[in-house]
Chain A
Amino acid sequence: MVLQFKPQGIYCPAGDFYIDPWRPVDRALITHGHADHARPGHLRYLATDIAVPVMRHRLGDIAIDSIKYGESRRIGRANVSFHPAGHIPGSAQIRVEAGGEIWVVSGDYKTTPDAISTPYEPVKCHSFITECTFGLPVFEWPDEADVAREINNWWAANAANGQFSLLGAYSLGKAQRVMSMLDPSIGPILTHGAVEATNEILRGQGFEFPATHHVTSDLARNKYPGAMVIAPPGALGSDWARRFKPAATGFASGWMRLRGVRRRRTVDRGFVVSDHADWTGLNMAIKATGAENIYATHGYTDIFARWLKSEGYNAEALTTEFTGESVSGPAGAEESE
């Protein structure tokens, strides 16, 4: 097998490296910078040039090498290349070829385009290790333009009522994606420190977002009436969030497709914005690889694998320590999308 499943993570014996390992290893190829994929403690890292700055910011002084999308590199007896996954800026699917056999690890991916990530590209392979965070037929995403309109209408209505709009979005990827959907003519945009730190790094790489104001303890909130405030989900309901009064609260996540989850979050509004593929996206992507063997990781793996089998694939559910976009979403899950 080109790739094997070990306690440390997904392993390539031909190249003696791991992909997104969850235990410390010598050589780690990383699909993207979210904390359940890019963990600390490895000796050497490899990621796309776009993903590297955020990883440095999050993991500190690590030994990291970069690679461009589509560039091929020989590691041991394996040929490796990284391909756009459309999940967040710099996110990649990793293609590994050894002994004439091709495997692809999807990492997290999204098949529809957005304003900030390099669009997903299908990669032909024999075996495909796919995430399936939203691998159920109830998860179909609305058009991004429709959701953008919903968010902007909500923001404008809140602003007209003299309320802040407090929107929960993960600090890497989701927050910037939401910012790219906002209409800055409605009002000012304020950001939580965790969001602004990521903004700064991405702006330094040439990404363009609407102007934002970092919320610090001496920020004069009364100068920003009706502002949109973007914060990690964990900060909603905290002392930090209570300074914005009166406020309407919202949360941007694929899970907002389900009323039950939205109500448990006790936010006023849920917006269906996900960085993962929906049901249709997953099925299209899998078909496009031409792969016969499919391994389903993080999500409804058992159900999804059973579905793929009924569609004629050799499919198997894998147990991994990836968390994807966490449904329960306590503060600790903030990193997971």
Chain B
Amino acid sequence: MKRFTALYATIDQTTKTSAKVTALAAYFASAPEPDRLWTIALFSGRRPRRAITTTKLRLWAADRADIPLWLFEEAYPIVGDLAETIALVLPPPTRSHDRSLTDWIAFLRNLDSADEETRRAAVLDAWDQMDADERLVFNKLLTGGFRVGISRKLMTRALAQSTGQDEAELAHRLMGDWTPDSTTFAKLIEAPDPEAAQSRPYPFCLAYGLDDGPAALGPPEDWRAEWKWDGIRGQLIARGAAHFVWSRGEELMTDRFPEFVRATDFLPDGTVLDGEIVAWDGAAPLPFNALQKRIGRKSVPKKLLAEAPVILLTYDLLEEGGNDLRALPFAERRARMDALVSGLPDEAPIRPSPLIRFDSWDSLAQIRSAARDNRAEGLMLKSAASPYHAGRKRGDWWKWKLDPLTIDAVMIYAQQGSGRRANLFTDFTFAVRNGNDLVPFTKAYSGLTDDEFRKITAWVRRNTLQRFGPVRQVTPEHVFEIAFEGIAPSPRHKSGVALRFPRMKRWRHDKPLQEANTLDDLHEMLRQFG
């Protein structure tokens, strides 16, 4: 645990990528194997379940620190992190320990079956053996909120450095639904394992945003264009007699989308398709909010299956006849994919995402402007020669999205952020005008610079009208341009709309309150783009 805590602190303390990778590689080279395995699991989002509710932890910590609960609650938003607040208020430890990370995780999982008094005693006893840094890590494990400032890609690089294995091969091995219980370090990283290999997806190739248009990309004939769909990125795997559906976040979604149960009837053994899962009306994708109803559901009621059936709009073939095609040029993979799926019957839940023909960047720009009519959010541009990269790599795949929709809105509520943004007001609620009223319609958290956040924070402190717990109602004065990707009707909201990906595009210092948009404007956008 001490070794792991030191690693966590080093990663947390430096802003330099190279220092993080070096520290992690050194850790992998020296830590015991079970700890290594747990570290890989934790750093790739495979966290142990929350062992104890945060309500209980707050109570126990305040009690142990001999402070009233309200004081703890006041300190929490200022620290910005619950695990850290607990670590800091507790009195110093009276003894120390030398248990490993794996040991402590086993300790946490044993709490699952214990009664409350046993849990309380066990947690207090654990706290009493740890310094503040260890407590922070321990509490993060305890609350199920463990995150770390290092990407998977960097972790994989560090693992490659310390094991001498190929980075791409390792990235592939780390995919899938393994847990430290279902495997060992040796099995996961070093040994051949046909069973795990059957369901394993490939690391997704990711695109960068194209901010300045495609002119600098070179001759248009070297590129392929497709619609950029607003669905769920997924890989559909047919191997042996089984099929698997994976999300980009490496979640196994097979059960969530029973539509694909017949995939093996249509696809030959050893096929992996990459594409976008969308709700489908028979001819075109439905808006994202139709799909949203199915996200988060482990099982799908019949009614919803009928209302919002999904298909895979596929655009890449990663494996054919069991052979990894990722090194082939995109144009070649795409041709093979078309040959494979173009002859499928209508009842197959798989359609090729059409290639868009264009002869110049100008004509493509014209086509892009009609993306919304095609239920797309823009275009994807892929180099005809590009291999299927593991992860994000600049240069070969670009997303060229439509400019977002925008509306000018008035800030009416503000709340402090957490973590890096603790002590800054960063979470805001915005309203549109309706006669003399202001109708809240969206929240937004991002888009301002640190300097702007500092300025608005100082302003919020001076212009608070009323407090509702952590939320402050502020004088309606500042107008912000809110950008968003889509708008849909929502009976749950007072304004009657829900926005997709809202963020602050600009602080409109130049606009007085009276020039903010109205509820009618918002409903007109809903009519036009909803």
Residues of B within 8 A of A260 (CB): 79-81, 84, 418-423
Residues of A within 8 A of B68 (CB): 307, 310
Stretch of A36-44, A100-108, A179-187, A261-269 on the interface side: A261-269
**Measured between alpha carbons, how far is A3 from B399 in the docked complex, in Å?**
66
CB of A75 within 8 A of chain B?
A: no
Q: What 0/1 readout, one digit per residue, does chain A (80-121) give for beta carbons within 8 Å of chain B?
A: 000000000000000000000000000000000000000000
Flag if A258 contacts B71 (CB, 8 Å).
no
Flag if B85 contacts A138 (CB, 8 Å).
yes
Q: In the complex where A269-B13, A330-B454 touch, is A140 in contact with B78 (Cβ < 8 A)?
A: no
Shortest Cβ distance from residue A144 to the other chain B in the assembled complex, whole angstroms: 16
Flag if B15 contacts A303 (CB, 8 Å).
no
Flag if A266 contacts B15 (CB, 8 Å).
yes
Q: Which of A140-175 contact B (CB under 8 A)?
A: 140
Flag if A263 contacts B420 (CB, 8 Å).
yes
**Measured between alpha carbons, how far is A225 from B519 in the docked complex, in Å?**
64
Residues of A within 8 A of B419 (CB): 259-260, 263
CB of B450 within 8 A of chain A?
A: yes
Residues of A within 8 A of B423 (CB): 260-261, 327-328
Flag if A307 contacts B71 (CB, 8 Å).
yes
Task: Please indicate which of the listed interface residues A137, A257, A269, A330 has the most CB atoms of chain B within 10 Å of its own CB.
Answer: A137
Residues of B within 8 A of A303 (CB): 71, 74-75
The prevalent SS among residues of B at the interface is: helix
Q: Among the listed B75, B84, B420, B450, which residue makes an inter-chain contact with A137, where contact means beta carbons less than 8 Å apart?
A: B75
Flag if B422 contacts A268 (CB, 8 Å).
no
CB of A300 within 8 A of chain B?
A: yes
Give the residue name and chain of the B residue nearest to A267 (CB): B15
CB of A67 within 8 A of chain B?
A: no
CB of B150 within 8 A of chain A?
A: no
Q: Which of B60-75 contact A (CB under 8 A)?
A: 65, 67-68, 70-72, 74-75
Give the residue name and chain of the A residue nearest to B451 (CB): A330
Q: In the complex where A263-B419, A330-B454 touch, is A136 in contact with B16 (Cβ < 8 A)?
A: no
Q: In the complex where A138-B88, A264-B421, A268-B15 touch, is A258 in contact with B80 (Cβ < 8 A)?
A: yes
Q: Which of A307-337 contact B (CB under 8 A)?
A: 307, 310, 327-328, 330
Q: In the complex where A258-B84, A260-B80, A264-B450 touch, is A138 in contact with B421 (Cβ < 8 A)?
A: no
**Measured between alpha carbons, how far is A328 from B421 in the docked complex, in Å?**
11
Residues of B within 8 A of A300 (CB): 74, 78
CB of B89 within 8 A of chain A?
A: yes
Give the residue name and chain of the B residue nearest to A310 (CB): B68
Residues of A within 8 A of B424 (CB): 264, 328
Q: In the complex where A138-B78, A138-B89 touch, is A268 in contact with B71 (Cβ < 8 A)?
A: no
Q: What 0/1 readout, one digit per residue, does chain A (198-214) give for beta carbons within 8 Å of chain B?
A: 00000000000000000
Q: Which of B386-426 contact A (CB under 8 A)?
A: 418-424
Shortest Cβ distance from residue B305 to the other chain A in the assembled complex, whole angstroms: 44
**Measured between alpha carbons, how far is A330 from B81 in the docked complex, in Å?**
23
Shortest Cβ distance from residue B12 to the other chain A in the assembled complex, whole angstroms: 7
Residues of B within 8 A of A306 (CB): 70-71
Residues of B within 8 A of A263 (CB): 12, 419-420
Give the residue name and chain of the A residue nearest to B86 (CB): A138
How many of A's residues come within 8 Å of B, CB to CB?
Answer: 26
Q: In the complex where A259-B12, A268-B16, A269-B13 touch, is A137 in contact with B80 (Cβ < 8 A)?
A: no
Shortest Cβ distance from residue B65 to the other chain A in the assembled complex, whole angstroms: 6
Flag if B422 contacts A140 (CB, 8 Å).
no
CB of B14 within 8 A of chain A?
A: yes
**Measured between alpha carbons, how far is A140 from B75 in the docked complex, in Å?**
13
Residues of A within 8 A of B74 (CB): 136, 300, 303
Flag if B15 contacts A258 (CB, 8 Å).
no
Flag if B454 contacts A137 (CB, 8 Å).
no
Residues of A within 8 A of B65 (CB): 137
**Measured between alpha carbons, how far is A307 from B71 in the docked complex, in Å?**
7
Flag if B420 contacts A264 (CB, 8 Å).
yes
Q: In the complex where A258-B84, A260-B419, A327-B423 touch, is A136 in contact with B78 (Cβ < 8 A)?
A: yes
Shortest Cβ distance from residue A287 to the other chain B in the assembled complex, whole angstroms: 15
Flag if A259 contacts B84 (CB, 8 Å).
yes
**Measured between alpha carbons, how far is A137 from B67 in the docked complex, in Å?**
8
Residues of A within 8 A of B450 (CB): 264
Q: Which of A34-70 contact B (CB under 8 A)?
A: none
Give the residue name and chain of the B residue nearest to A328 (CB): B454
Q: Which of A248-292 contact B (CB under 8 A)?
A: 257-264, 266-270
Give the residue name and chain of the A residue nearest to B149 (CB): A263
Give the residue name and chain of the A residue nearest to B422 (CB): A260
Residues of B within 8 A of A264 (CB): 420-421, 424, 450
Residues of A within 8 A of B422 (CB): 258, 260-261
Residues of B within 8 A of A136 (CB): 71, 74-75, 78
Give the residue name and chain of the B residue nearest to A138 (CB): B88
**Measured between alpha carbons, how far is A239 from B422 in the docked complex, in Å?**
28
Flag if B75 contacts A138 (CB, 8 Å).
yes
**Measured between alpha carbons, how far is A269 from B16 in the docked complex, in Å?**
12
Flag if B88 contacts A140 (CB, 8 Å).
yes
Residues of B within 8 A of A269 (CB): 13
Residues of B within 8 A of A266 (CB): 15
Flag if B80 contacts A257 (CB, 8 Å).
no
Shortest Cβ distance from residue A267 to the other chain B in the assembled complex, whole angstroms: 8
Q: In the complex where A263-B420, A268-B13, A327-B423 touch, is A137 in contact with B78 (Cβ < 8 A)?
A: no
Q: What 0/1 readout, one digit per residue, does chain B (299-315) give for beta carbons within 8 Å of chain A?
A: 00000000000000000
7 contacts between A and B (CB under 8 A): A258-B78, A261-B423, A262-B13, A270-B13, A303-B74, A328-B454, A330-B454
7 tightest Cβ-Cβ pairs between the two chains A and B:
A260-B422, A138-B88, A260-B80, A263-B420, A136-B75, A303-B74, A137-B89
Q: B interface vs A, CB < 8 Å? A: 12-16, 65, 67-68, 70-72, 74-75, 78-81, 84-85, 88-89, 136, 418-424, 450, 454, 457
Q: A interface vs B, CB < 8 Å? A: 136-140, 257-264, 266-270, 300, 303, 306-307, 310, 327-328, 330
Q: A138-B79, A261-B423, A307-B71 are in contact. List 6 more A-B contacts (CB 8 A).
A: A137-B71, A138-B75, A260-B421, A261-B422, A303-B74, A330-B454
